[in-house]
Amino acid sequence: MLPAIDNVPFPERNRSMARAFAEIAFTPNVRAMQDAQGSAASYAKFLAPEAPPSDTLGEAEAQFITHRDGFYQATVSETGWPYAQFRGGPRGFLRVIDEKTIAYADFRGNRQYVSAGNLSGDDRVALILMDYPNRRRLKLWGRARLVDIGDDPDLVARLHVEGYEATPERAVVITIEALDWNCPQHIPERFTLEEMEYALQPIRDELAQLRAENDRLRAAAGED
């Protein structure tokens, strides 16, 4: 496994599923499908009252979130259709405000406003954050609040990463209701240019040392 570019360890305490996630995701239809496929019994324990809720962000989640340069976001329209899109930006543009709150500056794009429009009518939102090199995935469910730049310019300015050339229009503030760390099965290993540079740097350093040593040996041989 490639060392994490941000050196964030996999959180051992979240390897098991959480009650808050199960209560949201395991609807009657889902439970019926689990029963039909023979997996209902193995998941029943996560719906038990004594199961840990895991509906707050710990240190591992906070580090993981703040080192991402993008995430997938899903909203739902008033007609019931889901809408998923990729949100990207510089590392750290998705901020952790506290153990129950994350936020980001919503930058101007193609001005379709599908996500913003959906959230204005239904505040439920789901996020998937990926670490492809290490095959890690964090899923978040929450309720989003849109804050227009005209209503709170200071908040939007605080969320805007300095030096990033984009026009923020609003802040999206999300209250966390559930989270879940997915297993790595079926996650492909992919690398950005930044991650490739990180992975190749030790090889480049070793090559430079070998070349320097080779030059010294040649010089010594020439002196003899």
What H or E segment, with its residue span, contains residue 71? Answer: strand 70-76
Indicate if the pLDDT at residue 16 is higher than 70.
no
Residue 64 is predicted with a pLDDT of: 96
Model confidence over 161-181: pLDDT tens digits? 988 999 999 999 999 999 999
Query: Which percentage of the chain shows pLDDT scores above 70?
Result: 92
Count of residues in the chain: 224
Q: pLDDT per residue over 78-95, tens digit each?
A: 999 999 999 999 999 999
In this prediction, residue 7 carries a pLDDT of 52
- How does residue 15 score in pLDDT terms, banded at 50, 70 and 90? very low
Say what the pLDDT of residue 41 is: 94
| Each residue's pLDDT tens digit, 175-213 | 999 999 987 888 888 888 888 888 889 999 999 999 999
Contact 24, 141 (CB under 8 A): yes
| 3-class DSSP state of 95 | strand
pLDDT over 50 (residue 1): no
Torsion sign, CA atoms 209, 210, 211, 215: positive
68-71: long-range contacts, CB 8 A cutoff, minimum separation 24: 68/94, 68/129, 68/130, 68/131, 69/93, 69/192, 70/130, 71/127, 71/128, 71/129, 71/130
Q: Confirm if 146 and 119 have CB atoms less than 8 A apart.
A: yes
